[in-house]
Structure 1
């Protein structure tokens, strides 16, 4: 007869925040980090200020009660928003009350809109009849930029949009991709993702190394200042070889990594056996040393790249 252990009582899940927000005077908020002098002249600061002036505060600051002073609160998240409210002459703000005083989560785990996500947000706002000048004021950009952002994905294939939807690509990168045929756009997007490089200069290099037949305007020969036609052809061949190498690595990477992980675990158990470790230490000390190095690996990258 099989018997089962009775499950113990399940502890209630502790809430991380109070159920309701609380309106708190700005004078009672104590920042946990200082704002640099250059922050107020940054584009980010001006953009947040424009958004608050135009549509109000979207996300409430996060605070926690100060255990040393019952009339004060530690400001965990929202330092720029609170500073902007002070500049606007606002005396109080509605805050989310945290039951924990750690600020790492808020300061280090931030999700920002990528250009594609921002474009979709603007498109949704326009669909809902929000005036373009109001959107421009909220984003601190001019109305012409709204029109340009709306056209950003024209000529970009859906697969590329999916690949780059959460990547921070400058708008000029999409202008470059638009000059390529869809299949080449996908290859270019994958190259940027593999290199983790979304710079305009890198996209321009990929465009330069793109065969003439894979360009939208296949009739106009490519020209690059300071480069001969022979040098451009050499770049095309080298980039093609690079793509083949990356593809072959991608095809086998998962299986190779699995094999390495299994081997590492096996060697760890092997040298964890005292009798085997003692035998290797007496008869094959070099092998034991290499086994220990493999068992202690925390990354498959070379030490200088890890």
Structure 2
């Protein structure tokens, strides 16, 4: 047996087991307020329509073969109790600690949710059934299914893992593909994926870069003169960002070298004494650069 095999062990038993719900001992019972939440109702509807997608996780109790520790799935088990179920199929963990379960929740992005719904529809699941399973209005499901119609493939690739509201994609659809890519790059650079920011980018988009919109854009509270100024400012901003992207790596490397050099320089007491006597303003700036944890902190 290799060294890796000596220390590694499986995290779960290979087969699921059916356990009486009454035999489950919860590690942390859900608060009473949980049942009043919208999320609880969504999970409940999903269990009714689809069944348990993910089995609860339990651990065996040494010396007590009749009961099991419930490590993960407390809400699902509560829902099964409400539905008068007496048994549940569980995944058995070989460790009885509950810290690692659900500590990092992976939420679906709008693009991933769209792909999931389209895949379900392609397999013959009706929009109505998906709506019932997700506790959504059927129009919301159709809206999610058609989310990327008219969106550039490059934009989809850039936003596939981003928590971006559906409204942003609907705003991007009003732009031509190249402008969609430019607007997406601006959102990524600003780390701002709100519908309000996307609307501002739409307002600053020249009319000839809009998709199917021949009339000039009208935004409430914004005069045509202000709109023209906004478009010019946005064009300048895009040029500046392009220049920064081209030189960022080189500039950052140079600044890192300079920072290291200054830190070494200030380690010499004679140099520090000279600067303190003759150029105190230089010494203050040199120390700030050398002591900065990063250049982002220095800029801040």
2:224 aligned partner: 229
1:3 aligned partner: none
Q: Following the alignment from structure 2 to structure 1, what is the Cα–Cα distance between the partners of residues 74 and 241? A: 43
Report Cα offsets for 1:64-118 as digits up to 9, x if no partner: 3456966544433323222222222222322222334444443332212222212
Q: How does 1:123-142 map to 2 (within 5 A)?
A: 123-142=118-137
Q: TM-score, normalised by structure 2?
A: 0.80
- Residues 51 and 241 of structure 1: CA distance in aligned 2, closer, same or farther (over 3 Å): same
Residue 16 in structure 1 maps to residue 5 in structure 2 = no
1:172 aligned partner: 167
2:295 aligned partner: 300
Q: How does 1:235-250 map to 2 (within 5 A)?
A: 235-250=230-245
* Contact 1:277/1:288 (8 A) holds in 2: no
- Residues 293 and 174 of structure 1: CA distance in aligned 2, closer, same or farther (over 3 Å): same
Shift of 1:47: 2.0
Q: TM-score, normalised by structure 1?
A: 0.79
* Contact 1:188/1:206 (8 A) holds in 2: yes
* Contact 1:116/1:166 (8 A) holds in 2: yes
2:86 aligned partner: 91
- Residues 142 and 284 of structure 1: CA distance in aligned 2, closer, same or farther (over 3 Å): same
SS in 2 for 1:63: strand
Q: How does 1:86-235 map to 2 (within 5 A)?
A: 86-235=81-230
* Contact 2:40/2:75 (8 A) holds in 1: yes
1:60 aligned partner: 55
* Contact 1:61/1:82 (8 A) holds in 2: yes
1:5 aligned partner: none
- Residues 283 and 85 of structure 1: CA distance in aligned 2, closer, same or farther (over 3 Å): farther
Q: Following the alignment from structure 1 to structure 2, what is the Cα–Cα distance between the partners of residues 290 and 68? A: 67
* Contact 2:289/2:298 (8 A) holds in 1: no
Instruction: Name the Cα RMSD after superposition.
Output: 3.5
Report Cα offsets for 1:230-262 as digits up to 9, x if no partner: 112222223333333333333333344445556
Aligned residue pairs, count = 294
- Residues 232 and 67 of structure 1: CA distance in aligned 2, closer, same or farther (over 3 Å): farther
- The unaligned stretches of length 5 or more in structure 1 are 1-7
Shift of 1:226: 1.4
Answer with 283-292 or 222-231: which moved more: 283-292
